[in-house]
């Protein structure tokens, strides 16, 4: 699953350890989520959304969603 966690974290100038403290998880967890190696549970995803004052969809997107977005952009292009 793709996510914008690194960008959102960078905007606030937080280190992975800062974010881990705020989420009350290990730094290893934050790193694994950022690199897409680990998908967080729904409660943790909600916690992330609340922390960044946004929605879960604005942080995470699955492959199918990315493909649909790309497809719609291609369709919008003039022939």
**What gap in Å lies between CA 42 and CA 9, rounded to an integer?**
19
d(CA 4, CA 56): 10
Q: How far is the CB of 31 from other proteins (least distance, A)?
A: 8
Compute the least distance from the CB of residue 48 to other proteins, in Å.
12
Our CB check for other proteins shows the closer of 32 and 49 to be: 32
Q: Which residues bind other proteins (CB under 8 A)?
A: 20-21, 24-26, 28-29, 32, 37-38, 40-41, 44
Residue 25 C-beta: closest distance to other proteins, Å: 5
Give the span between the Cα atoms of 63 and 1, in whole angstroms: 6
**Based on CB atoms, which residue is closest to other proteins, 29 or 61?**
29
Residue 27 neighbours by CB under 8 Å, 6+ apart: 16, 17, 20
């Amino acid at each position: 699953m793709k996510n914008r966690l690194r960008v959102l974290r960078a905007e606030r100038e937080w280190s992975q350890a800062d974010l881990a403290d705020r989420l009350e998880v290990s730094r290893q967890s934050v790193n694994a989520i950022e690199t897409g190696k680990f998908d967080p549970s729904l409660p943790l995803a909600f916690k992330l959304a609340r922390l960044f004052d946004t929605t879960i969809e604005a942080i995470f997107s699955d492959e199918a969603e990315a493909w649909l977005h790309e497809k719609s952009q291609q369709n919008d292009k003039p022939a």
